[in-house]
Amino acid sequence: MKVISFVLSLVVSFTVFANDTNPAKDLLLNMANAVHTRNFDASFVVVKGKAMEPYRWVHAKQGETELEHLSLLNGAGLEMVRINDQVTYFEPQSQPYSINTDSIAGPIPEVLFKDIEALSSQYDFVLGGKGRIAGRAAQLVRIESKDEYKYNYWIWLDTESSLLLKAAYVNHQGEALEQLQLTHISVTEQPAPMILEVLNRNFPTPLPGNALEGEKSNATNWRIGWLPNGFKLLKSDRHKLDLNNELTDYFLYSDGFVEISVFVQRPLPGRRLSGSLTSGATTIYVHNGGNFDVSVVGNVPSQTAKAIAESVTRAL
């Protein structure tokens, strides 16, 4: 009888273990590993409505050194270079600066190349169908929000290299709102010569951790009464907006995947009606609160941004 019980316990344990496996999540983990270890040279475009931004993305692993270069190819250009845990930004009409971080802030959510397990409480990982992207066999993986307050994110992976081929923010009606599409990718054994050249360049000394932050905000000035589940405050400060030189209290929230910015400031001259603007997956909702204005910006549905903005009140 003891033997039978022992065998049954093994069967139950195996079943539980089997149910814990998730092939969609495994593919995402493979992608994260590939992005950090493969040598590749890729071109992609980000499509938001009628607007299109072309990028070049090059990565190399040279010994223990990881090199990454991302550049915006239109307009005055924007260049970002990462060498291990240091990223340098070259922006038009600004002095270049470096910060200590292990990832470039670009059009691809950073968390996809890090700890996706952190998303499990708010998103499901679902295996989709197979297709062909940029001339390569691709497997679809869907990151599905567990509630209606956030968009879904679909990713097509190269079945050979595990690298990203396409990604899209998708609403709950299955409509793609914003897409990132690779137009070319070259995966090689050796790093591309251009990426190795960054090792010969001089970069600014990384700024201290708080150098880019504004004046610390008195967080008790405002109460943000509602946020979707899982969002936590990353930082808050008080600074002047480049757009109009107005002081604003700024709050940045994230659920690990999507970031939401909340700006609270005095009303600008001329009463404005509350309303939203959208560009691709990005929503900007401006709420006139009477004695103050609230602006919410993030890759969330307009109803979510509206609910957040209208929940802001003065703290008692």
Q: Amino acid identity, residue 212?
A: L
| Residue 146 in this model has a pLDDT that exceeds 60 | yes
Q: How many CA atoms lie within 13 A of 181 on its CB side?
A: 12
Q: Amino acid identity, residue 55?
A: Y
pLDDT at 12: 46
Higher pLDDT, 111 or 182: 182
- What's the DSSP call for residue 197? G
Ordered DSSP codes for 198-243: GGGS--PPPPPTTTT--EEP-GGGEEE----TT-EEEEEEEEE-TT
Q: Which two tokens stand for residue 245?
A: 């030189």
Q: Over the stretch 122-144, which tens digit does the pLDDT of each residue have?
A: 999 999 999 999 889 999 999 99
Q: Over the stretch 152-166, which tens digit does the pLDDT of each residue have?
A: 999 999 999 999 999
Q: Which two tokens stand for residue 43?
A: 């071109």
pLDDT bin (cut points 50, 70, 90) of residue 220 is: low
Contact call for residues 145 and 151 (beta carbons, < 8 A): yes
256: Cβ–Cβ under 8 A, 6 or more apart, which residues? 111, 118, 119, 122, 230
C-alpha dihedral, 164 to 165 to 171 to 176, nearest 10°:
160
How many residues are present in the chain? Answer: 316
pLDDT at 10: 46
15: Cβ–Cβ under 8 A, 6 or more apart, which residues? none
pLDDT at 213: 54
| Residue 6 in this model has a pLDDT that exceeds 80 | no
Q: What Å distances lie between residue 64 and 60, 86, 193, 194, 302, CA to CA? A: 10, 14, 17, 18, 44
Mean pLDDT throughout 235-241? 85
Helix (H/G/I), strand (E/B), else coil: 271: coil
Of the candidates 252, 300, 253, the one whose C-alpha atom is nearest the C-alpha of residue 276 is: 300
Ordered DSSP codes for 99-165: EE-SS--SSS-GGGGS-GGGGTTTEEEEEEEEEEETTEEEEEEEEEESSTTS-EEEEEEETTT--EE
Rounded to two decimals, the pTM is 0.85
pLDDT at 11: 47
Q: Is 66 exposed, middle or buried (0-12, 13-18, 19+ CB in 10 A)?
A: middle
pLDDT bin (cut points 50, 70, 90) of residue 16 is: very low
